[in-house]
Amino acid sequence: MDFIYLCNESGIVITKCISMNERIIIPCEIEGKPVIKIDEYAFSDNCFVKEIIINANLIEIGSFAFQFCEELKTINLPQSIKNIGESAFEGCVKLKNIVIPPINKINKSLFEECCSLTYIEVPQSVEVIDERAFEFCLNLKEIKMHEGLLEIRNGAFFCCRRLRRLNMPNSVVKTGKEILLGCRKLETVHLSESLERIEIGLLARCRELRKIVIPNNVKVICNGAFAECSSCEDFVLIDKNIRIGVRVFEGCTELLKNEEFIESMKKHLENKKGEK
């Protein structure tokens, strides 16, 4: 047997993988009972496994379950899964693709530093993308999100340096800080029409971004929101009377060459108080 496990009334919980095999199969049943959960840290720091085949109708994957499985390249996630804990796949640097089951929330740091991922589709069931969920996914080029998503939290796509476009669903009513900071290759972005705040550093250091359109419902743009968007040439804002923080356009070298922009935004560029 490749696992240490517990048996409870509901079924089997795998608590630890003790195998050094490159290919591991998680069975439907153990001792005639269904395998329902992979527990916290069960596979963490496993430096041998490259492929995991899950035949079980899992309900849950615990936090940190596969954290730092640095050789893991492929794993299938059954559609039966209802919850995946935080950092479950953090640091799986060779994981090339993943199909996320219909969970309600992508938890904190779930795929942080999964450097080999190039494409992610967020299921329609997801309402929240938590903090740093895809932080430092350095080769992520595309992420598809659906209407029904309500919130994207701090640093969710921080330093996804190859991400080229992002279409934020109009159902998103709230974002955290710095969700796209350091996405150096980001060329186009659509911000949700439901947003009322552009949070601190939202698009900072997106150096390939050429156009920023502020949704009509936005009432506040917070400090440093677009700092160092050095290629941005076009800034579209209908309501010039909204509250705008400090250093919002710091390092926006192309915009700051535009005399019409400077004149229209003069009172905001001189603002020293900020919006936190």
For 141-276, CATH number out of 1.10.3470, 3.80.10, 3.40.50, 1.10.287 equals 3.80.10
Residue 35's pLDDT band (cuts 50, 70, 90): very high
Residue keyed to tokens 């192309």 = 254
Residue 276 has pLDDT above 60, yes or no: no
- Minimal CA–CA distance to 246: which of 204, 193, 195? 204
For 1-103, CATH number out of 3.40.630.10, 3.80.10.10, 3.40.50.2300, 3.40.718.10 equals 3.80.10.10
What is the C-alpha separation between 53 and 78, in angstroms, rounded? 10
Can you give the residue ranges of every domain in the chain?
A: 1-103, 141-276
Distance of CA 255 to the CA centre of its chain: 29
More confident call, 238 vs 4: 4
What value does the mean pLDDT of the chain take?
95
Per-position b or e across 78-92, b if 16+ CB within 10 A of its CB: eeebebbbbbbbbbb
Residues of the chain above pLDDT 90, percent: 90
Q: What is the pLDDT of residues 197-210, one digit of tens each?
A: 999 999 999 999 99
User: Identical fold at 1-103 and 141-276?
Assistant: yes
pLDDT of residue 20: 94
pTM higher than 0.75: yes
